[in-house]
Amino acid sequence: MIEKEFFSIKEVAEMLDLKPYILRYWEKEFAILKPKRNRVDRRYYSKKDIDIIKLIKGVLYDQGYTIAGAKKKLVRLRDGPEQLSLPLRNRNKMLKEIKAELQKISNLLNE
């Protein structure tokens, strides 16, 4: 099976459960998001673009940042992806929640 190198805006929107107009808006707002365009000016997103979209979505939807706050946070992308990690207090909370959820699953499986 051949793995695709580029994806249309519709494919990316469906893949990430977003509307295409959100992706177009984020393109205007976030300078780091630059999908390629073909001769008829259609957008084609690479895997790197999709990773950036996932980061944007996580910062906006999961972490609750505003567009302005997310821009400031994502500027650090140039310094390396490790800069985009959650603050330590949030990371520890998230890890505890994951551990508790895994424990519940383990208990259900052992019953």
Number of domains, the chain: 2
> What domain range includes position 91?
86-111
DSSP character for 85? S
Residues 23, 55 share a domain: yes
Q: Classify residue 1: in a domain, yes or no.
A: no
Helix runs in the chain, H state only: 9-15, 20-29, 47-57, 67-75, 88-110
pTM over cut 0.85: no
pLDDT at 22 > cutoff 90:
yes
Sign of CA dihedral 29, 34, 37, 43: negative
Residues 75, 26 share a domain: yes
Residues 46, 11 share a domain: yes
Residues 10, 44 share a domain: yes
Residues 67, 91 share a domain: no
Q: Are 30 and 56 in contact (CB under 8 A)?
A: yes
pLDDT of residue 90: 62
Residues 111, 59 share a domain: no
Band of residue 89 on the pLDDT scale cut at 50, 70, 90: low
